Structure 1
Amino acid sequence: MKSYRLTEVKSYNVPFVRLPRPVFWFNDPFEAGTWSDLHRHEHWGELAFMRSGYMVICTELGNYAAPPQRAVWIPPGLTHEWYIPEPSVDNALYIMPHVLPPGPRFQRYHAMEVSPLVRELIHALAPQSCDYEEPGPVARMVSVLLDQLPLLPEVGFPLPMPRDRRLVALCTALLNEPDSPETIREWCTRLGMSERTLARLFQRQTGESFGRWRQRIRLHHARAQLEAGESVTAVALNCGYASVSAFIAAFKKLFGRTPGQLAR
């Protein structure tokens, strides 16, 4: 598996060989450009979840960017590393398999839609000590969280990432600035490749066109703005849509609900 370190990096070492409790969590801010070491967890899985920003998760099964409203489950034993393209806050969970329901779901690498309840539970746990008393109030929150995880709907991986170093540079820049006005022609000039080569390579390595990928990154960014309280009209204009109705249609097609339904 190839790594794509595009700038001087700040390496982050995964610190544990065993967990003090069946569920352990992080509340860590990261600088842009931080990479983890290549590693795997033999005895627990990881629920990669970002409070803000993005995490790009790299495995032999594919490279994917996880925005705040999605989580990615990394099962025990899967070798991986992650990259933080912009200043971000990580609320990841380490979970021992024996506290998860039996069956194949949590043995697979997959993404899931995070419900408001699960998001708030993770946020509520973040400032608490991971060496919590059992039984106790924190342990009860953990129990509710574990009950909720199997109910979260599985979704396609949010944002597939290419492997070509030039395309990784392009995608990383757009993760940092989703509303960048630069055209594909301008990017091709910077990357030293033709538009046809970029289109063909991007499609082959991600399974979708560059235009669709760019629209999705803008819509994920729009969703974060809406959840922060921005108006639908302001977000539509920020994303470059000519009309609010066009923005609403694109948003509903990707997320299955309108911006107004998201706010309720």
Structure 2
Amino acid sequence: MNVAETTKPATIRQRPVPELGRLPRPVYARVENLRHRSATRPHSHPWVQLSYASRGVLQIRTAGGLFLAPPQWAILVPPRQEHTVVNSAGTEMRSLYIDARALPGSEGSCRVLAVSGLLREMIGHFSGLPAEYDEDGPDGRLARVMLDLVQAAPRVAFSLPWPAEPGLHAICAEILAAPRRPLRPAAWCAALGVSQRTLERAFMRDTGMNLRTWRLRARLLGALPLLQRGDSVTDVALACGYGSTSSFIASFRRFFGGTPGSFSGARARD
């Protein structure tokens, strides 16, 4: 069992994975305007994928975690990493498929990268170029500079690690499905046949954080699609389990370094 299976909503639409045997150039842009919330099947490919959306929220799900990206961020998926891509409704995807030889150091695990204004504009411009652009001309130089910016993009810790222990999967899925619900350590311990101390140690070992911290991060990351959808900050705070808007804003600012309003899709459309 992995995160793509345990958190898959029942009503989500499926969208196909493109049939692409090879990349026509070292960098290939894939443009999609996705009206409805949808997901791909779990898949992998031999190239690097930079999943980026100029509007909406993208989510990459792997066996090891959840990675979310509103327009301020992108998700780098290494070659041969099995993953599912989930998008919010109204997402404008501008993703890059990159030959691994053109982006050294891209191996390992998925990572969330901060997207600068310059990189955002270059991705947007590159997305309009022919797939078989002239590698030795201006378009090829643009692609190489764009990859330099991807290589230099700061990594941000806005992901949600998924435990390796199968017995902890249901706990995480329950928290994600109902972030407002109080934690139930006694019930979980009884179901798993372990003490609370053993449960806490196992969760810390697999995720690097305790249950309360994991739930806090899940709540805050879960707020991003709601904000991008245009929900009010008050409604998002309540949906994520906060008793007051002010406590939500303070927690959001501490984690993301900005206010919920700066991530609002309604603001972006004004």
Match of 1:230 in 2: 231
More deviation, 131-140/215-224: 131-140
The separation in 2 between residues aligned to 1:246 and 1:163, in whole angstroms, is 32
Letter in 1 for 2:183: I
Letter in 2 for 1:243: S
Q: Which of 29, 36, 39 is the equivalent residue of 2:42? A: 36
Match of 1:23 in 2: 27
SS at match of 1:67: strand
The separation in 1 between residues aligned to 2:186 and 2:228, in whole angstroms, is 30
The answer as to whether partners of 2:15 and 2:38 remain within 8 angstroms in 1 is no
Letter in 1 for 2:154: P
Deviation at 1:152, TM superposition (A): 2.2
What RMSD, in angstroms, separates the aligned Cα atoms of the two structures?
4.3
TM-score of the superposition, structure 2-length normalised? 0.67
SS at match of 1:163: coil
Is 1:162 matched up with 2:176?
Answer: no
TM-score of the superposition, structure 1-length normalised? 0.68
Deviation at 1:72, TM superposition (A): 3.4
The separation in 2 between residues aligned to 1:229 and 1:116, in whole angstroms, is 22
The separation in 2 between residues aligned to 1:74 and 1:154, in whole angstroms, is 13
More deviation, 84-93/230-239: 84-93
CA deviations on 1:116-158 (whole Å, 9 max, x unpaired) are 66456656766x5762543899878756643532342112361
Deviation at 1:105, TM superposition (A): 4.7
Match of 1:73 in 2: 76
- 1:206-221 alignment to 2 at 5 Å? 206-221=207-222
CA deviations on 1:29-88 (whole Å, 9 max, x unpaired) are 798785424x552xx322244653522124xxxx12111234333444xx4211457878
Match of 1:181 in 2: 180
Letter in 1 for 2:22: R
Deviation at 1:113, TM superposition (A): 2.3
The separation in 1 between residues aligned to 2:51 and 2:16, in whole angstroms, is 15
SS at match of 2:172: helix
Letter in 1 for 2:76: W
Deviation at 1:219, TM superposition (A): 0.9
Match of 2:134 in 1: 134
Moved over 6 A (4+): 10-14, 28-33, 85-90, 123-126, 135-141
CA deviations on 1:180-219 (whole Å, 9 max, x unpaired) are 4333328945992267254332211101112111111211
